[in-house]
Chains A and B, each alone.
Chain A
Amino acid sequence: MSDTPPVSDRPCDVILDGDRLRLAGHLTIDALQTFDRAAAAELARRAVVIDITETDAVDTAGAWLLVALAGQGQGGRADIHGASSHQSQLIDTVRANMPPPEAGSETTGGMNDRLARLGGRIHGGAGAAVELVSFLGQVVATIGGIILHPRRLRLTSVVHHCQEVGWNAVPIVTLMSFLIGVVLAFQGAAQLSQFGAEVFVVDLIAISILRELGILLTAIIVAGRSGSAFTAAIGSMKMREEIDAMRTLGLDPVTILVVPRVLALIVMLPALGLIADVAGLLGGAVMAWVDLGVSPAAFQARLVGNTDLWHFGVGMIKAPFFALIIGIIGCYEGMKVGGNAESLGRLTSTSVVLSIFMVIVMDAMFSIFFAVVGV
């Protein structure tokens, strides 16, 4: 076009000369940063001709400015004079691509609008819940089909995921649970010793760990660790159309991707819960010994003699349900990922938050249930 450097600090001058609006200098996107459009439009209102003989560079942004100014001119259309053939070609191209006149008028606010949005959200939420339940049904039906035809099970995949979600989580679960046992014993001892009832610390630890904390905290850790990993893995496959490719090849993504993950969780979460129980009791016992002088033998005797086995049973019964919640939500959110990277991130965090929330809701429902049946 021209040899002048396009990056320039030179402002574009606007001079009104009778009914002639003269523009001089650089008419480029850089000049537009400091250009006073309102003032120029005010001058343009009195112009019949816009003269750009003195401009030395015009780019698309400059051409847009010219077209916009010309539209402000007398009679709604001032003439643009002094353009080189390149410049007038550019101006014509821009004129042909100007925004349609009524564009840009979005209505926002208003009571009706807000109501409509609220309604839309509720409708969307309800729809998502229905979809989640139907996804659960689909997975359960597929698992049922696999029980009838065990050869359809991807055993290698199940074992792989067992290692991922179970075995690899053992250190963190053990450590966490041990520390919870320690904390419980310490806090419990501080309160109970006021009544000289130190020995009840064993009951406190046993009941709270076995019945609630062991499995609940394990489920929360697994949701954060594996639920998010499920969503991210399935979501990025969805993003790259691998899931669609599977479907066209006659492979069922639920059988191949979802069932092994869910089964692995159902198998491994109770096992992790058991480990957490043992580690928690151990932590409690150590702290009771150090802090209260309850010897390991006394701890064991009181634990075995005084704790109903049902406390352990209640904890373990919950494990497969928590596993199902984490697995289904993790995979479902992954399947919902669309074509962009942002939805992957958003749904991964949704998956973790939602599965932890649902685990706690489920736990509360179990508490009510067990209270009613009296265990």
Chain B
Amino acid sequence: MADAPVIRVRGLVTRFGRHVVHDGLDLDVRRGEVLGVVGGSGTGKSVLLRAIVGLLRPAEGQIEVLGQSVRDTPPDAYRRLRRRWGVMFQDGALFSSLTVRQNVEAPMREQLDLPPDVMRTLAGIKVRMVGLPEDAQGKYPSELSGGMRKRAGFARAIALDPEIVFLDEPTAGLDPIGAAAFDRLIRQLRDALGLTVFLVTHDLDSLHAVCDRVAVLADRRVLAIGSIADMLDVDHPWVREYFHGPRARAAKIMPPEPA
């Protein structure tokens, strides 16, 4: 049981019309790890995420999360399964007419029957956990900076203490200091809450700082999966370019070239 992957994808095929995004994709995510998913723009990282959480019906293939099939579960079981993960979408997807605290309360309000003061306190704890200042709780998403919106999205994703969180490019568009702080936050909450993290990112620093393993999406499948050190040996033009390029060197993934 401890060795069974929490997410298991086999032979996934997704297409939009005649445009094939994934063709026979396999992926395992282990319990308690932070898996970084990388790949060029448009390689289907977000689509993969949407397929795993059941927002998008793949053409073929099996997807199991926590041992249950996402595709073929009855609605009731799916609803219970859905409570065990949290998703933070690429652009935050906060509810614009609710304050930050109400956004974090929203999943509790929908799924549980808690007294309002408890919800309020718990939401406040989550908002503070993701490092937002006290006065951010009463603000609307449009009154926040991009980085704060991402933190608020994260707080909403972990509102119900899920076992898995899916994060779609959480550090994209953040300044390097903000991004580094977000990386630390992911690690810290992973340790404190025992999360499994499915992290879509472009950010080499993030990969380096938080990911236990990296999966590379290319050619419509998972081209390689393993530690960052393993990636350096993969012989594929995109992977080579990505992990050996100047940015990789700056992120200290590669040893600096001797002058």
Interface of A toward B, CB cutoff 8 Å: 1, 3, 6-7, 28-30, 32-33, 37, 59-61, 64, 86, 89-90, 93-94, 97-100, 103-104, 338-343
Contact = CB atoms under 8 A, between A and B. Distances in A.
A134 to B, nearest CB: 24
Interface in B105-164: 108, 112-114, 117-118, 120-122, 124-126, 128-129, 134, 140-143, 158, 160-161, 163
Given A33-B113, A99-B124, A86 B194 contact: yes
Nearest to B122: A61
B122 A29 contact: yes
Given A7-B80, A29-B114, A339-B142, A99 B125 contact: yes
Nearest to A58: B161
Contacts of B84: 6-7
A105 to B, nearest CB: 12
Interface string B88-102: 000000001100000
Given A89-B191, A340-B142, 7 more contacts: A1-B163, A29-B160, A60-B158, A86-B192, A339-B96, A339-B140, A339-B143
Nearest to A338: B142
Interface residues of B, number: 35
Contacts of B124: 99, 103
B2 interface: yes
Of the candidates B83, B113, B121, the one having the most CB atoms from chain A within 10 angstroms of its own CB is: B121
Interface string B1-45: 110000000000000000000000000000000000000000000
10 contacts: A29-B108, A32-B114, A32-B118, A33-B113, A89-B191, A99-B121, A104-B117, A339-B140, A339-B142, A339-B143
Of the candidates A32, A104, A338, the one having the most CB atoms from chain B within 10 angstroms of its own CB is: A32
Contact of A30 (B112, B126, B158): B112
Contacts of A28: 161
A60 B193 contact: yes
Contacts of B142: 338-340
Contacts of A60: 122, 125-126, 129, 158, 161, 193
A168 to B, nearest CB: 31
Contacts of A94: 125, 129
A67 to B, nearest CB: 9
A86 B96 CA distance: 35
The dominant DSSP class at the B interface is helix
Contacts of B161: 6, 28-29, 59-61
A50 to B, nearest CB: 18
Contacts of A59: 161, 193
Contacts of A33: 112-114
Nearest to B96: A340
A342 B121 contact: no
Contact of A100 (B134, B141, B158, B191): B134
Of the candidates A6, A28, A86, A338, the one having the most CB atoms from chain B within 10 angstroms of its own CB is: A6
Contacts of B125: 60, 64, 94, 97-99
Nearest to A86: B194
Contacts of B96: 339-342
B97 A340 contact: yes
Interface string B187-202: 0100111100000000
A64 B118 CA distance: 10
Given A1-B163, A59-B161, A64 B121 contact: yes
A354 B142 CA distance: 26
